[in-house]
Structure 1
Amino acid sequence: MASDAVFIHHPDSSGYKFDEEHPFDPLRLTLTIDLLAKVNALDEEQIEAPPLYSDDELLSLVHRTDYLAAVKQLSENAQISDSSLLAQQFGLHTEDTPFFPGMHKAAMSIVRGSLAAADAVMTGRTKHAYHLAGGLHHAFPDRASGFCVYNDAAVAIKHIRQTYGAKVLYIDTDVHHGDGVQWVFYDDPDVCTYSIHETGKFLFPGTGYVHEKGTDLGFGACFNVPLEPYTEDDSWLETFNMTLRKVISYCKPDVIISQHGCDAHAYDPLSHIHCSMRIYAEIPAIIHELAHTYTDGRWIALGGGGYDIFRVVPRAWSLVWLTMIDHPITHEIAAGKEIALPDSWLKRWASVSPLKLPSKWMDDTADIEPMPRRSEIADKNRIIQNIVIQDL
């Protein structure tokens, strides 16, 4: 088994929790790490905590100083009398992204993890690095949005550009458009952003259309692939393969940063895409191949969305790490074998999960109802494919 990969995680990331009823639940991290441990793919000694970084210096690469001050103030003084006005000014008053005690510390621990993953790869210490808690792609320089307080992906990319001068391809497979990262680099020709997501006609954040291509010197370095609701595996993977391979050939990056939101699954409660675990086995395999073809293996992977936290997220996120380390499970899955999840993991979490846990790594497709209008949906997605790649 290859070992040219590092796994970054800080316990403080689990403090990034809005409230008990909020769909963004850091238990996802524990479930995934435990699953990897149960298949002997990760142990405590392999998990690296990120080093300390200067909060203000690095966050200010992306975020405005008044926003940072507001996050700290709300984080430390959750009961201050003017908190409502302050929260409204910076997007921290909504049901999606309400401020909470300890918010800055938890959000900064996530930024540190993504920076550590970036440094591990860019210094040549490793080819691949994985930071599960990262991928908070909706945060803007001046406000929170979509469960995201600080945009760790954008900060890591800015750090790579400033420190190493490398050209970056950012790949976002979350079902929601990677808007925060896109807008930060909308005028930057050396950061190519690629987002494949459910169309914004029906889903937050309502952006990510094919005509969003960048501005000024960055025009032509922004690619959006909005898919029809109820897209299934075949159409999703056809579109991903066709467009991403064209984009990376055009961009010729020095390093890949990928965001692995796994909320395009049919079980996810917050979207309408109808895919199975098949795409979550193939996404990291494709990116891994492209990294070794175009970037000498340099690949930084982050987490992201995913709100069926028991049935989907642990399997999908684990497959990224298993791909990075070339684990035998990935070869068996690629060969079409049915691989059972470890009994010890199933027994530990069965009583906690509100729904019956899957018994295998891949879904039984009989458990996922096929969608009507399949060919019509696929045809509409092919139109998008052709628009995206027509100038490449």
Structure 2
Amino acid sequence: MVVTGLGVISPLGVSAPELWAGLLGGLCGVRALDGPEFEDQAVRIAATVPADPRSRLAHPQARRMNRAAQFAVLAAREAWLDAGLAPGGARDSGLDATRTGVSIGSIIGGAPILVEQDRRLRERGPRSVSPLTAPMTVPSQAASQISLDLHITGEARTVVSACASGTEAIGQAVDRIRHGHLDVVLAGGAEAAVTPAVMAAFAAMRALSTRNDDPLAASRPFDRHRTGFVNGEGAGLLVLEAEEHARARGARIYCEAAGWGLSADAHHLAAPDPAGVGIERAVRRALDDAEAGAEDVIHVNAHATGTVDGDAAEATALRIVFGAGTVPVTAPKGGLGHLQGAAGGVEAVATALTLHHGIVPPTVGCDDLDDSIALDVVRKQARELPATGDLALSNSFGFGGHNAVLALRRR
């Protein structure tokens, strides 16, 4: 299975090249939330997309989609074209539409639509509720809208596993191709959950960074002074296909989708297992699935959200598998924020580009590395990948103990 196309809508820009330039440049997409609905919030910062997705879609199409689905369709179009496929969709590209699929991770999906329509119901009565509420609320809308937009009829699946959703969706796509069910899959994640209710909920958990006065320094993965994550939004998708299929049509190959691993902590409603046992298990399963060993890994794209306990648990697991300071690690949430269900998709794109270009982007916000982390965190400036070895891991872990790890191999 190989990666042939990349598409991104993120706080660092509205394309994969803009994402890559932002990561290499150490930029940060965290911004102040200026709307009146956020005035009384304890946390008034988030990593938001710097463009209105509705302006890039036909109006009749945009008004029928929730914001996450809008992001997903735009990222899918970019990935599709980047893979050398025709804008008209599967059949116009010479693909068998029935053997082409979509696999998208999302946590909240269109829940903000339901919140808004509930407000209308209470204020103005049942007749004010939009008939589009139900189809725009379901988390599966992003997958279905991509399917509609590109005329993909093989399957359109949705994965919901907290912040591991995007990575698990990619892993599921790898398996669908591996076992001969599909030839091509658009896979990744999409989320748009920077809303008053969601911000208040995360703030009530004390999970968010409260650096309202300094947004650019709010997200601090692995840093000694980290205080919580920064909520974000966006979408990231990859075109995956069987290598034989890709070569037959002369596609450019970014890297190989070598394998993936899943596990569950079974530890706590929200907190990770501090011993990192579940994370370690997911990492080892990804290595086994890729038929590789720890010595083959040249890079880890860490989940590292900037929470005290989460970063520590991940670092513990990585030290157990790889040893202290042996593998270059980067944590893109310092610049991107935490994109929830989209995080795994956007960070898989970043990992694919790391392998493709041979460069590890620096970790934004990690100015004073916590000594207890004891990892080789790439900071301050980008670094070339090691010459020996060929595997990179992209980690995603979620509330409730969901752990997913994607293994990509450079070509």
TM score, norm. by length of structure 1: 0.33
Structure with greater proportional strand content: 2
Structure with greater proportional helix content: 1
Q: Which has the higher contact order (CA 8 A, sep 6+)?
A: 2
